[in-house]
Structure 1
Amino acid sequence: MSAAFLIYSLITWLYQKRIVKTLTEGEFISGYRKAQLIDVREPNEFENGHILGARNIPLSQMKARLQEIRPDKPVYLYCQSGMRSGRAAQLLHRKGYKDLSHLKGGFKGWTGKIKTKN
């Protein structure tokens, strides 16, 4: 059982590595203003703090809200740790999106500007 999970995890990781660029915070900052910045966390997480300029399209709603994301522009994704943004990238890739990047380590490692709802 655990060997199968390990193999599955490795295949998923290799697949993600091929379809989505994992960016350091510096790389993310230098490009996200020219991209569609999408926070894939749930609304309550987003309200507690998010990267300035991000739109909240939770992974749980992404399939239903694809029309909000332009396939002809770069898409920068992030979540809390990097897991959900990787899954969101897989979903977008299957729908034909090509220029996909996500934030290494997710929001929890972010030191740039943030916005919170009071």
Structure 2
Amino acid sequence: MADKYDLTPQSVFTDLKAGKIVLVDVREPAEFANQRIHGALLHPLSTFEPKAIPADGSRRIVFQCGSGKRSRMALNTFMKETGADAAHLAGGIAAWTSAGQPCIRLDPATGAIVDKGDY
């Protein structure tokens, strides 16, 4: 069920590029190393501490994961514990890449970093 906290890849891309949001990836380090969105900060859900998220009110916090499930959990916890407004990337990095948005990934065959697009 979509609501005002579920953001589309295009809206996240636009706001990230404009410096309006802080994108927080809540996946694990290995997932982040294999594929990530430009500018995302890593803060794994397994060690999640909402008050450690850099929320100063100048930019909206947006959480992101692989499919949207963990980022929604992080969002709910973050808002409950901090009272700050936030959102998440609905569908996660899977939706992001399906929408053709730029990302960085590791080529498993060569170990080379592949930069898919730029800002």
Q: Identify the TM-score tier after normalising by the shorter chain.
A: 0.7 to 0.9
Q: What code does the residue aligned with 1:39 have?
A: D
RMSD: 2.1
Partner of 1:25: 9
More helix by share: 1
Runs of 5+ consecutive residues of structure 1 not aligned to the other structure: 1-12
For these two proteins, the number of residue pairs brought into alignment is 101
Corresponding residue of 2:51: 66
Q: Whose strand proportion is higher, 1 or 2?
A: 2
Give the equivalent residue in structure 2 for 1:112: 101
* Structure 2: runs of 5+ lacking an equivalent: 107-112, 114-119
**1:83 partnered with 2:72:** no
Q: Using a 3 Å threshold, how does the CA distance of structure 1 residues 52 and 97 change in structure 2: closer, same or farther?
A: farther
Distance 2:79 2:56 in 1: 10
- Large movers: runs of 4+ above 3 Å: none
Identity of aligned residues (%): 30
Deviation at 1:24, TM superposition (A): 1.1
Measured in 1, the distance between the counterparts of 2:45 and 2:55 equals 16
CA deviations on 1:34-93 (whole Å, 9 max, x unpaired) are 211110000000000100000110011112x63242252310111000000000001101
| 1:5 match | none
Matches within 5 A, 1:29-44: 29-32=13-16, 33-44=19-30
Q: Which amino acid aligns with 1:98?
A: A
Equivalence for 1:96: 82
| 71 and 61 in structure 1: CA distance in 2 versus 1, 3 angstrom threshold | farther
Given the two structures, how large is their TM-score scaled by the length of structure 2?
Answer: 0.74
